């Protein structure tokens, strides 16, 4: 983690396996609480979501794969819906304009396969497609919106969405029960069956299915009625404050939303937020202000140890730093405010913060903060699956520490106002933008 990390761009990239394998993510165990707060703020969405039309693609996939739910490909791991996903991604790579498929999960894998003339398969597609493929990314919202069920079978709103989509696309009858093995649906189904049998997908460059995906499912081009239907699903009152956030962001002009970080977006939302939305936003602000102090202190520990060269850093040397002392002075107040605000949050968020409180409730000085951070970090790293991860610091017998080379920090961190965790406002904003394109 670098000093004063923020998320100036609206979409989250895949984790770096070389780094995450060492346990270099979330060294203080703050994500459990932030994820629960993000769920509270924007239910059923995640930070990786950006293109609502993948909900339509999920409905089409469920229709095509009807009756194939229990089939597993020859590779022993790939279900029918992922075979469909391989086909769609390759279709986008082959036949769609690049600007129409921006932020398609797995698209670079598809382009590489096309360029090398190799079929997409479990070996050539994403390493964890059930998480990072479009089904994995959008599944939570698809289930909550009633488009698919937990097994990715078509649900009631999925049928309704399909009818809107097929009529608008000039594909009347696509989802009819008796047409399952005929027409375009039959063409796609046949390709899925072949992919299940072979363990990979391979079709000629002239195959009609590539054109189908490019013309009817590219994420940047939802039809007007399709966009209206998708918007209604996002605004469903069962999504609680999700719909209110969508309406408020939708009312902002493009200029108002450009290059704005989530804390700034949240502050402007507060200006017109309902009482309930304001409570959720203020709770997140309180938690993040606590996190900003804690993470800056942790990064100062890394920096001071780095600057100390071959010598271990003592508790006294850490505590003598003026920036550390300033953070230590404000820390009890920030902790108390977060603790108070989180009493109104969901149980999972409260439980996550209670886990932090065990270490930080009694911090009154820089020396206390030094001990609490190292104890918390050691606990978090030890608990990481499958068998724990190494700490970022080596420990001396006298309580001093030496930062390990991968986690050295040359630049001195400064206490800022950025959030190091996403709260899904970018995802909602992107949905607003895409569904306006279809209007």
pLDDT in tens, 74-105: 999 999 999 999 999 999 999 999 999 999 99
Residue 182: per-residue pLDDT: 73
| Average pLDDT, rounded, for the chain | 92
Q: Find the helix or strand (DSSP H, E) in which 394 lies.
A: strand 393-395
Apex 85 CA angle, 8 and 31, nearest 5: 35
Residue 272: per-residue pLDDT: 96
Mean pLDDT across 1-16: 39
Please state, in angstroms and rounded to a whole number, the distance separating the CA atoms of residues 253 and 264. Answer: 15
Q: What are phi and psi of 123, to 5 degrees?
A: -80, -25
**pLDDT tops 50 at residue 5:** no
- Residue 426: strand pairing partners: none
Mean pLDDT across 112-132: 96
Mean pLDDT across 377-396: 95
Structure tokens at 132: 């990072």
Which range among 15-29, 157-171, 213-227, 260-274 shows the weakest confidence by mean pLDDT?
15-29
Mean pLDDT across 196-211: 96
pLDDT band for 21, please (50, 70, 90 cuts): low
Q: What are phi and psi of 154, to 5 degrees?
A: -60, 130
Structure tokens at 311: 């010598």
Structure tokens at 49: 């979501």
pLDDT band for 256, please (50, 70, 90 cuts): low
Q: How many CB atoms lie within 10 A of CB 163?
A: 16
Secondary structure (DSSP) of 409-432 = --SPP---S--SS--SHHHHHHHH
Residue 255: per-residue pLDDT: 59
Residue 120: per-residue pLDDT: 97
Mean pLDDT across 121-146: 97
**pLDDT tops 70 at residue 1:** no
Is residue 287 within 8 A of residue 338, CB to CB? The reply is yes
pTM confidence score: 0.90
**pLDDT tops 80 at residue 18:** no
Mean pLDDT across 265-284: 97
Please state, in angstroms and rounded to a whole number, the distance separating the CA atoms of residues 404 and 385. Answer: 21
pLDDT tens digits for range 349-382: 999 999 999 999 999 999 999 999 999 999 999 9
């Amino acid at each position: 983690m670098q000093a004063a990390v923020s998320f100036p761009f609206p979409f989250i990239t895949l984790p770096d396996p070389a780094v995450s394998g060492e346990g270099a993510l979330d060294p203080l165990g703050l994500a459990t609480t932030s994820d629960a707060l993000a769920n509270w703020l924007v239910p059923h969405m995640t930070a990786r979501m950006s293109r609502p039309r993948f909900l339509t693609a999920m409905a089409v996939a469920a229709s095509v794969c009807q009756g194939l739910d229990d089939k597993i490909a020859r590779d022993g791991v790939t279900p029918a819906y992922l075979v469909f996903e391989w086909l769609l991604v390759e279709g986008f790579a082959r036949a769609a304009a690049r600007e129409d498929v921006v932020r398609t999960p797995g698209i670079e894998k598809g382009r590489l396969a096309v360029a090398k003339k190799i079929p997409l398969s479990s070996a050539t597609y994403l390493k964890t497609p059930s998480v990072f493929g479009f089904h994995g990314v959008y599944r939570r919202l698809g289930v909550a919106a009633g488009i698919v069920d937990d097994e990715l079978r078509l649900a009631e709103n999925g049928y309704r969405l399909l009818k809107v989509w097929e009529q608008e696309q000039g594909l009347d009858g696509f989802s009819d029960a008796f047409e399952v093995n005929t027409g375009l649906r039959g063409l796609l189904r046949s390709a899925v069956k072949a992919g299940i049998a072979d363990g990979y997908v391979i079709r000629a460059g002239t195959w009609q299915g590539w054109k189908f995906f490019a013309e009817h499912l590219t994420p940047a081009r939802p039809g007007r009625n399709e966009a209206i239907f998708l918007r209604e699903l996002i605004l469903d009152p069962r999504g609680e404050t999700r719909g209110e956030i969508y309406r408020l962001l939708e009312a902002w002009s493009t200029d108002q939303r450009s290059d704005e970080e989530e804390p700034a977006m949240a502050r402007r939302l507060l200006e017109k937020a309902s009482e309930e939305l304001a409570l959720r936003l203020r709770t997140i602000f309180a938690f993040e202000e606590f996190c900003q102090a804690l993470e800056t202190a942790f990064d100062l520990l890394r920096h001071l140890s780095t600057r100390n060269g071959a010598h271990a850093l003592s508790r006294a040397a850490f505590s003598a730093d003026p920036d550390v002392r300033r953070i230590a002075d404000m820390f009890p107040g920030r902790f108390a405010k977060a603790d108070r605000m989180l009493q109104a949050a969901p149980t999972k968020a409260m439980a996550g913060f209670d886990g932090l409180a065990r270490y930080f409730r009694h911090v009154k000085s820089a020396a206390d903060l030094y001990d609490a951070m190292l104890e918390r970090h050691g606990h978090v790293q030890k608990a990481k699956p499958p068998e724990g991860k190494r700490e970022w610091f080596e420990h001396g017998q006298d309580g001093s520490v030496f930062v390990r080379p991968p986690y050295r920090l040359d630049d001195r961190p400064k206490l800022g106002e950025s959030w190091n965790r996403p709260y899904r406002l970018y995802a909602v904003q992107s949905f607003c933008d895409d569904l306006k394109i279809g209007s």
